[in-house]
Structure 1
Amino acid sequence: MTQNGNLKRRVRARAAKTGESYTAALQHIRQPSPEDLAIRSVRIVVAQTSLFNDPRDHSALHASGVEMRRLMREAHKAGARIIHLPEGTTCAPNKRIMSGNGPGEIGPSDWTRCEWGTLREELEAVRRLASELKIWTVLGSVHQLTSPHRPHNSLYVISDRGELVTRYDERLLSNTKISFMYSPGKVPVTFEVDGLRFGCALGMELHYPEIFTEYERLDVDCVLFSTTGETPSSAPAFAAEALGHAASNTYWISYSAHAPQSASAPSGIAAPDGQWASRCPANGEPAIAVADIRTDPEHPARPWRRKARADLYTPHQIDGDPRSDGRNLF
């Protein structure tokens, strides 16, 4: 997050000095080096997990941890450098279960009901296993803040050394989440693995193209999007948005949702051509899918679109209103 802030300040300073657009200034600051032009590859696993939605249930929180660690071991056997898991992998608290007004009425969440100690124990076990397996682990969890602040809905990024290197907090929350459940995040988050840059998104943010164009400007190679999923009827269109964002921004998107949604929209990895490179089974069961994410420095689409979004067309635009010229009218 600090690196993102420093980059933005440099870009804004150049734009103010030269009169360039933000995109043009960013492009100048990030002139490619020979190293940037090398093809790089990372093997990633995307997972779909069981849905645990009651943070009061000690045994369920433990079961979610056991399942996560089993999938991490499967990812390690598949040769993955990263495993990407859904929103609320540890637990996706149900709004009615958490409502202080009782299950019959959705109201402000009572977070004293959460078994925070058990949650921390399971996360610590995941952290230790990530270090043991030497695998990067990105998972969804509620992040506790000091009272009276509501928690964040977050993605934890744990390195292959077992270190929590960063955390992404969902920014564009649903009406229920912002009204009764969570505090919103503020900033995009990126991190690097083996020379590839990853961004994070969460929840319903797939519906907001600005999240994904922002990550394109931040030079990511892949966005890790975690969700609990949509309703069965809406899930296929929701997942299709991942393909659209991948194609329009020419990068990879890993789409991770819970296993119950897989009957209509299983977890998968979308390639920059807008096609699924790999998907989990559509059987409602926890599972993983594997893909090798590769950069393609010579692909023309991304630099062209950056150029088009900058000041490419301004010199060619016609002054005045062309409609006032009668020769151009039928």
Structure 2
Amino acid sequence: MKIAAAQSIITGDIAENGRTIRALIEQAAHKGARLVNFCEGALSGYAKAQINSPENWLDLDWTTHDTELAAIADTCKRLNIFAVVGSAHPLPAPHPPHNSQYVFSDDGSLIGHYDKRFLSHSELQGWFTPGTQALTFEVDGYRFGCLTCIEVQFPELFMDYERRDVDAILFSSYGIRSFFQIALRAHAGFNCVWISGATPAQTAHEGPAGIIGPDGKVVAHCAAEQRNQLAFATLDRNDPSFDGALNKARPWRRQARQGNIYRKKQIKP
């Protein structure tokens, strides 16, 4: 199954962001992708980049936001493709929004939204409300999970998704700087999962959008240029190049973490 990681230009104009997202969904579908994921704040704008202050969430044009979400859903239905779109998710006042990834099915329905759980110190100062739950969904027999930005620094989140039997993690961030790139490769290799990382085009010089294989190696990436792009990769459990990671390392590490293979060979002091 082919997937795509988006590297999109984000502006302060929600309608413009929506047009960019739909155009990239079209490109992904025409190249045979079944799923495309977008970066943090791809539709609404990201907090400290386009929104500028927590109070500005109150003035966000949520009506246009809803209109663009509906248009994205229609695009997914028309093109028979899944899309995972980073955007703020409003909550009743006085609560700030969730920092979310909206998951759209190929029939145009909203499967749900992943709400970022581990917020930075500054995000907790009125920018966002933390989420509470992991999110998994399936496409063509492959299971996906979602994580966002600073959550790259919490290995337990990646390990939890491995225990939930995901094949791939969709990582959404406003920038994938060098140590994020290193960490994502490590998480992919340690947990033997694909990771698709989406970032804005504005921050591509720090590290481009791309897809990492379950062996921890980069499969595909965009150019480090400020323009709308997609990186494509095919998820294939039967690919012989991933045999060691998927069929040997991953099941063995599960046994190792449970500890039984060690306990029956241990000697009491």
TM-score tier after normalising by the smaller chain length: over 0.9
Per the TM alignment, residue 51 of structure 1 is displaced from its structure 2 partner at its CA by 2.6
CA displacement at 1:317 relative to structure 2? 2.7
Distance 1:214 1:318 in 2: 31
* Counterpart position of 1:318: 267
1:168 paired to 2:127: no
Pairing 1:248–2:202 present: no
1:82 and 2:35 are equivalent in the alignment? yes
The answer as to 2:173 corresponding to 1:217 is no
Aligned pairs, number: 261
**1:295: how far off?**
1.6
Q: 1:214-293 residue pairs with structure 2 within 5 A?
A: 214-229=160-175, 235-293=177-235
CA separation of 1:138 and 1:212: change in aligned 2, threshold 3 A: same
Q: Distance in 1 between matches of 2:15 and 2:49?
A: 21
1:150 counterpart (92, 96, 99): 96
Helix, strand or coil at the partner of 2:124: helix
Report the equivalent of 1:49.
8
Deviations 1:246-293 (A, max 9, x none): 101011000111112212310000001111111111112110011101
Distance 1:96 1:281, change over 3 A: closer
| CA deviation after TM superposition for structure 1 residue 111, in Å | 2.4
Spell out structure 1 runs of 4+ moving beyond 3 A. 95-98
Q: Which residue of 2 aligns with 1:105?
A: none
- Does residue 63 in structure 1 map to residue 16 in structure 2? yes
Aligned residue for 1:325? none
Structure 1 or 2, whichever has the larger Rg, is 1
Tell me, yes or no, if structure 1 residue 73 matches structure 2 residue 15. Answer: no
Give the letter aligned to residue 308 of structure 1: A
Q: Residues 191-202 of structure 1 correspond to what in structure 2 (within 5 A)?
A: 191-202=137-148
Unpaired segments ≥5 residues, structure 2: none
Indicate the residue corresponding to 2:254 in structure 1: 306
Superimposed CA distance per residue, residues 161-197 of structure 1 (whole angstroms, 9 cap, x where no aligned partner): 0000121000001111112211111111100000000
The equivalent of 1:92 in structure 2 is 46
CA distances 1:33-91 after superposition (whole Å, capped 9, x unpaired): xxxxxxxxx11011011132x4xxxxx11111111111011001100100111111102
The TM-score, its normalising length taken from structure 1, stands at 0.76
Higher strand share: 2
Structure 1's 158 and 96: CA in aligned 2 closer, same or farther, altered over 3 A?
closer
Q: Compute the RMSD of aligned alpha carbons.
A: 1.6
**TM-score of the two chains, using structure 2 as the length reference:** 0.93
**Does structure 1 retain, via aligned residues, the 8 Å contact 2:97–2:129?**
yes
1:229-262 C-alpha deviation (Å, 9 max, x unpaired)? 15xxxx1121121111110101100011111221
Assess if the C-alpha contact under 8 Å between 2:6 and 2:36 holds in 1: yes
Q: Following the alignment from structure 2 to structure 1, what is the Cα–Cα distance between the partners of residues 248 and 141?
A: 20
- Could you tell me how far apart the structure 1 residues matched to 2:190 and 2:50 are? 37
**Alpha-carbon offset, residue 95 of structure 1:** 6.8
Correspondent of 1:294 among 210, 218, 236: 236
CA 85–96 in structure 1, closer or farther in 2 if over 3 Å, else same: closer
- Give how far 1:110 is off: 4.3
Amino acid of the residue matched to residue 112 of structure 2? T
Gaps of 5+ in 1: 1-41, 55-59, 100-107, 321-330
SS, match of residue 274 in structure 1: coil
Q: Name the SS for the 1:197 alignment partner.
A: strand
Kept after mapping to 1: 8 A contact 2:175/2:204: no
Q: Once the two structures are aligned, what percentage of the paired residues are identical?
A: 38
Cα distance in structure 1, aligned partners of 2:4 and 2:42: 15
- 2 CA distance for matches of 1:71 and 1:262? 16
Q: Write the mapping of 1:95-106 to structure 2, written as runs, cut at 5 A.
A: 97-99=51-53
For residue 258 of structure 2, what is the amino acid of its counterpart?
A
Match of 1:30 in 2: none
For the 8 Å contact 1:98–1:111, the answer to whether it is kept is no
Alpha-carbon distance, 1:313 to partner: 1.4
| Rounded Cα–Cα distance in structure 2 between residues aligned with 1:250 and 1:76 | 27
> How far apart are residue 97 of structure 1 and its match?
4.5
